[in-house]
Amino acid sequence: MPAFKLRHSMVGIDSIRFGEAGRFELQPRRRRLLADGAAVKLGARAFDLLALLLAERERSWRGKNCSNACGPASS
């Protein structure tokens, strides 16, 4: 279960394209990342962090704040 709950504004979004020429596609509801149409293996915490950074891209983040927002790391 993801530690980071998708922002209300992202919940209804099927996909977000980003990167050079829209090479990457994040599919928040499916918890999937595609690169050039192929699935990218991504851990739950990494996915949560990427989703957070895309959802809050206007905001300036510090490492500790990102880490706290996505929940504790597994040991």
pLDDT band at 1 (very low <50, low <70, confident <90, very high): very low
**Would you state the pLDDT for residue 50?**
87
Chain-centre distance for alpha carbon 75: 21
Q: Where are any strands of DSSP class E within 1-75?
A: 16-18, 24-27, 32-35, 38-39
**Would you state the pLDDT for residue 38?**
97
Per the structure, the complete domain to which residue 44 belongs is given by: 8-66
Q: Does residue 72 fall inside a structural domain?
A: no
Q: Are 70 and 5 contacting, i.e. CB atoms less than 8 angstroms apart? A: no
pTM for the full model? Answer: 0.69
| CA 31 – CA 47 distance, rounded (Å) | 7
Give per-residue pLDDT as tens, 24-75: 999 988 899 999 999 999 998 888 888 888 887 777 666 656 656 666 655 4
| CA 26 – CA 72 distance, rounded (Å) | 23
Q: Does residue 44 fall inside a structural domain?
A: yes
Indicate the number of domains in the chain: 1
Neighbours of 71 (CB within 10 A): 15
